Amino acid sequence: MNTFLSEAPHVVLSKSFSTPFQNAIATARTCYSSKGIVRDEQITDKHFPLAQSVYQAGHHTVFSHAYFQFELANISRQFIWSFLHSHPYYNSEQVSQRYVEIKEGSFLIPPLKGEALKIYRETIDDQMAAYRRMNELLRPVTEDAYFKRFPSRVKVKEKYAGEIKKKCQEIARYVIPVAAFAYMYHTISGITLLRYYRLSNQFDTPLEQKIVIEKMVRELIKVDPMYNVILQEELPLEDTPEYHFFTEHQNYYKAKKQQAFLDEFDQSLDGRISKLADYKNSNEATLAQSVREVLGATKDMISDGEAIRLVLDPAKNNLFGESLNLTTLSKLSRTLFHPHYTFRKKLSHAADSQDQRHRMTPGSRPLLIAHATDEPDYITPILVEQDTQVKKYYDEVMNKTWEAMRRLRTLDAPEEFIMYLLPNAVSVRFTESSDLLNLHHKMSMRLCYLAQEEIWRASVDETEQILEINPQIGKYLLPPCGIRLLADIRPYCPEGARFCGERVWTIPIKDYQRSI
């Protein structure tokens, strides 16, 4: 197997159950035990057929009890976005590019040779130089925006130099390639790791997936060899439906004719970042009726409007004032599962890498190799748009990056490796859906003025459109300060020293504005 020319992925299983596989069988036997709890130490090799039986039958909850925490490093942002975070069953804490400066040499280098490798390395160097230059160019416009929001801080500018630096690098990172390394804690259940292994051969990062996931599985087998009893081999890439489609339409993709699709998608957004594409016609009526069902109440007792207020108004449903997010456990609040919304949206790779962390508002992210053309296709942050010098340089960097990728294609470099040069700014187009309960939680996080700018703008788009079709619901989609205002919890902003500087709880959603 080819390996990368950069430092090898670091994979260490740092924490796990002491007897995870035995525990899986013990939980299975407990379901049918007339003698009470079956314990791990009661499980022997003779019970392996039971493990194989329940595994083959799809009764996988027994393999979900044992969790494994991995330390991962020297893995690309592209791999994290495309594979590790493209499903709901994980937890990660990774280094932030928003707040941690990117270092030289911390990029994945694929097994290219000759001129292709030279172009790849030179492009990475150019992107890193652009990152440093962008940090410098952004400082004046960032300072201006910052002190407009915090005018009282102008007198002690030096005190806030660190905050301004972080805001500069948050935008400067848009020129950094998705080949950039990250490090993280990544925690998954045993069944999730088995799924990783079975489907590790898929686009967009099959080689990196194969290397990292094989290391993870070896770590698992090292602590508990019993997993070999149910470990299936990886499915070949050729057996995936995406591969079949690409093979049947290879001339279309080789000719880079996807621009028609990109244009069609962008036109469908009608100028928004996130466009409401679908929703249940009776969202409000269904929500109100489900509230009455929980309470055993008739329409005469509680009208639709009163029912919706009872569950959504923080003045009536005090669980919204809790920081612990208790709504999934509340009988009344679970009625919010029934209303549903679907959005078509376009974000940068950087923004979507954060947006996809809202695992209960799932999206169907694209294969970037299916969207890639020879023409620059990227998002420009609003702060960059506000300074002509910065915007001119930013566009030059993007054009130079896409030119390098075109040159690699003429050398027949694998598309998988070319994709690592895509900047964080590259456009990601997809559809995302959510029930109201989880969307409400996401809006409360992302309507905050401290949220990443693109996701914030998408959340404003989504709230405005929900207000148009479901005004009784939409008016309760608020940032934390707005929720705390209605709940009469002071201070309204829960961020303390991180206060954004704006009295957002007094601003209607239609008047939301920010550049940092």
Please check whether residues 171 and 301 belong to one and the same domain.
no
Q: In this structure, is residue 4 part of a structural domain?
A: no
In a domain, 286, yes or no: yes
Q: Report the pLDDT averaged over residues 31-40.
A: 94
Q: What is the pLDDT of residue 2?
A: 66
Report pLDDT for 255.
Answer: 85
Q: Are residues 283 and 400 in the same domain?
A: no
Same domain, 443 and 461: yes
Which helix (H) or strand (E) is 149 found in, with range?
helix 114-149
What CATH number corresponds to the domain at position 26?
3.30.1360.170
For 247, 257, 370, the CA distances from 243, given in Å and listed in that order, are 6, 18, 11
Last-in-domain residue among 428, 446, 478: 428
| Mean pLDDT of all residues in 304-332 | 96
Domain residues for the domain of 239 are 10-99+179-251
Predicted pLDDT of residue 98: 85
154 pLDDT higher than 60: yes
pLDDT-derived band at 10 (thresholds 50, 70, 90) equals very high
| Residues 430-447: tens digit of each pLDDT | 999 999 999 999 999 999
Q: Residue 165 falls within a domain, yes or no? A: yes
Tell me the per-residue pLDDT of 87-132, one tens digit each, with 9 for 90 and over.
999 999 999 998 899 999 999 999 999 999 999 999 999 999 999 9
Structure tokens at 32: 């049918």
pLDDT at 254: 86
The verdict on 201 and 159 lying in the same domain is no
Same domain for 308 and 454, yes or no, is: yes
Tokens at 350, concatenated:
């950087």
Give the H/E segment covering residue 70: strand 67-76
Is 270 contained in some domain? no
Residues 242 and 208 sit within 8 Å (Cβ to Cβ): no
Instruction: Let me know whether 87 and 209 are in one domain.
Output: yes
- Domains: count for the chain: 3
CA distance 509 to 475: 9
The answer to whether residues 274 and 462 touch, using CB atoms and an 8 Å cutoff, is yes
Neighbouring residues of 226: CB distance < 8 A, sequence distance ≥ 6:
21, 22, 48
Domain boundary among 428, 446, 466: 428
**pLDDT tens-digit profile of 407-421?**
999 999 999 999 999
Looking at residue 1, what is its pLDDT? 55
Mean pLDDT score across all residues of the chain: 96
Position 104 in a domain: no
Q: What is the pLDDT of residues 228-264, one digit of tens each?
A: 999 999 999 999 999 999 999 999 998 888 999 999 9
Q: Answer yes or no: do 317 and 284 share one domain.
A: yes
Q: Say if residue 173 is in the same domain as residue 208.
A: no
Q: What is the pLDDT of residue 43?
A: 95
Last residue of a domain, one of 390, 412, 428: 428
pLDDT at position 99? 85
CATH code assigned at 435: 3.30.1360
DSSP code for 224: -
Give the model confidence (pLDDT) of 180-238 as tens digits: 999 999 999 999 999 999 999 999 999 999 999 999 999 999 999 999 999 999 999 99
Q: Is residue 128 part of a domain?
A: yes
**Distance of alpha carbon 104 from alpha carbon 182, whole angstroms:** 13
Residue 261 lies in a domain: no
- Estimate to the nearest angstrom the gap between the alpha carbon of 110 and the chain centroid: 24
Domain annotation covers residue 260: no
Rounded to whole angstroms, the maximal C-alpha distance in the chain is 78
- 96 or 71: whose pLDDT is higher? 71
